[in-house]
Structure 1
Amino acid sequence: MIRCQALQWGPPRQPLTPPLNLQLASGSLTAIIGANGCGKSSLLKVIAGLQPALQGRIEVAANRLGGLAYLQQQQALDRQFPVDLQQLVGAGLWRSQLPRRTRQLRLAQALADWQLSGLERRPLQALSGGELQRALLARLGLTDARLLLLDEPAAALDEAGQRLLWQQIGRWQEQGRTQLVVCHDLAQVREHIPSTLHITAAGCVLATSAQPIGAAQPMADVA
């Protein structure tokens, strides 16, 4: 699903890591971890095609128009944009060819699944941080994308919201979707995500989540 060859990314002429060779299988679930500023979010943007790599190649076995869905951090969203919660979530169906009634039912179910029923007409600026995050996740789930890139999906979620998140990530894995999840909560990573890509300035390490952080040596070639 994802293959990186001698990939480097970061600010112009300032690569954040040594060249990375990485291959992630279709249907895999991987957490991206590391210190602030190490390049976790930037890597997702490079994979999504939103930011150019400094060098190397990246191959994604998913059409970037519809086959890939990217959950950005909330601060990148314009809360003054004149749409309500239902319109925001419903945007996940914009490429769907399903009948209108079926789309309506899927939208209603997504709102119910993320405990957003009753908030349909609330404008973005009137949503709490947790409500907005659940709406963004609901929109993501309505897409037909086989590759999901989630940048800090637990941000702003309370305990109940986090339970919904991890349950949904589990369902997406059962559906065979490939997921890359930027996450800072290592306890949650160990509980819910089988593998981690640890990014450091010395290199990247792909390991099982059960392995203690730092136990493996950074390496430029990860497969």
Structure 2
Amino acid sequence: MSSLPPASAPLPPMPGPRRSAAQRARTVLVAGVAGGTGTTTVAALLADAVGGRLGVVVQATDHSGGELAARLPTLRPATSRVTVHDAGPHVAPAAALAATPENSLVVVGRATPDGVTDVQGSLAAIAGEPDPTLLGRSVVVLVDRAPKPATIDLGALRETGVAGVLVLRADRALARPGRIDTTGLARPTVGTVSELLAALRW
């Protein structure tokens, strides 16, 4: 996450370009290649981190069964036109919704060789349509739940032309059910979320 406070503690109004960024409508769709990959957790972390970066509360929308509200670090009325959607295991429909220049896609898979293959297949399926430029606005997040960090070859995913390929390592704070306590996140988690913001150009 950013070094700024999370959405639960918004900053004062921002000057210049940062304020304009917060006022501009923008949507990020977070979609998994399969159920149980960690899409809801990634969406909750992203919504909180974007809010902290921009000093607002983003709109968090759940299309995956109602679990996003339970994972968000805090529930507050949105104060911006920035939206993070938890699209569940539906990459193709999410890609269709993200097919405008101001929108982005985060594809979530497992940090395993099979997970990488699944993500490659999903990216190949959306590479040409509905928007040939979408891969350049997409980020892959591989969720690693193994107690010992998995060694994964990310080269093939990077060659697809996505804006970034990240691995979210196992973190006790994320393994706990319910609301995410962002104050207890491990340093690698904070770093990965910061990299996700940068890849999405926030």
Larger relative CO (CA 8 A, sep 6+): 1 or 2?
A: 1
TM-score category (smaller protein): 0.3 to 0.5
Greater fraction of residues in helix: 2
- Which structure has the larger Rg over C-alpha atoms? 1
TM-score by length of 2: 0.33
